[in-house]
Structure 1
Amino acid sequence: MADLLALAGRLLLAALLLAGTAQKLASPEEAQALLSLAALPGWLIWPAALFTLIAGLGLTLGIATRPLALLAAAYCAITSIFHVLLDDPWQMSIAFKNWTIAGGYLMLAAHGPGRFAV
């Protein structure tokens, strides 16, 4: 049962990254607007999309799970900064969710992919 739970958790965490990739590709303007609020160039969305694609695929397959999970945790922690908009409760909840998700990635980094990995 533990291996099935590890697989389910790993796939859910990977799905979040892949959904983020799809969102960035489908509507880059929204993420670019958050970058501009932090005085960062909008083109940074493309390396971020590439990272989330690579990390999402790697985690899905269970390839390089520990380092990718560590990087994904850092990515979540760093990107939470863009959502700290004190007068926007929705963005603040996203910031805190990013920290929680980072915790999930840290658990994945600590325990590895489980038995069901490539």
Structure 2
Amino acid sequence: MANLGLLIARVLIAALFIGGAVQKTLSPQDAGALLEGFALPYWLVWPALLFNAVAGLALLAGVFVGPTAVALGIYCAVTSVFHFIPDDPWQMSIFVKNWAIAGGCFALAVAGAGDWRIRTRGAPDR
């Protein structure tokens, strides 16, 4: 059951980040406007898109899960700042969701990929 649980966790968290990459691909202006609202350059959409896609695919495949999950957890914690708008309940729910996802990522980093993953030379189990 542990391997099934870890696979489901990886797939669900990966889907969120792969979906984020697709969203940034189809509508980069949404993320770009959010960045510009915080006086950050629009072009940061592209490295965020790439990071979301690569990290999501790594989780899905179960390779480098430990470092990838830690990086995603930090990413969620940092990007939660964009949603800290106490007067907007919707944005506050996204803020809290980001912290919950960060927690899931850190738990996945500790638990590792499980046995149901693609095995590659040099890829750590966690």
The alignment's TM-score, normalised by the length of structure 2, stands at 0.91
Matches within 5 A, 1:17-36: 17-36=17-36
Q: State the 1:18 CA deviation.
A: 0.1
Matches within 5 A, 1:99-118: 99-118=99-118
Whose helix fraction is larger, Structure 1's or Structure 2's?
1
Q: Partners of 2:86 and 2:23 in 1: how far apart?
A: 24
Query: What is residue 122 of structure 2 aligned with on the other side?
Result: none
Deviations 1:23-68 (A, max 9, x none): 1011111111111111101110000000001100100000100000
Query: What is residue 79 of structure 2 aligned with on the other side?
Result: 79
Gaps of 5+ in 1: none
Q: Partners of 1:115 and 1:18 in 2: how far apart?
A: 22
Identity %: 52
Q: Which runs of 4+ in 1 moved over 6 A?
A: none
Q: Partners of 1:110 and 1:85 in 2: how far apart?
A: 31
Q: Partners of 1:67 and 1:79 in 2: how far apart?
A: 18
Give the secondary-structure state (helix, strand or coil) at the position aligned to 1:25: helix
Q: Partners of 1:90 and 1:53 in 2: how far apart?
A: 25
Give the secondary-structure state (helix, strand or coil) at the position aligned to 2:85: coil
Gaps of 5+ in 2: 119-126
Q: State the 1:22 CA deviation.
A: 0.4
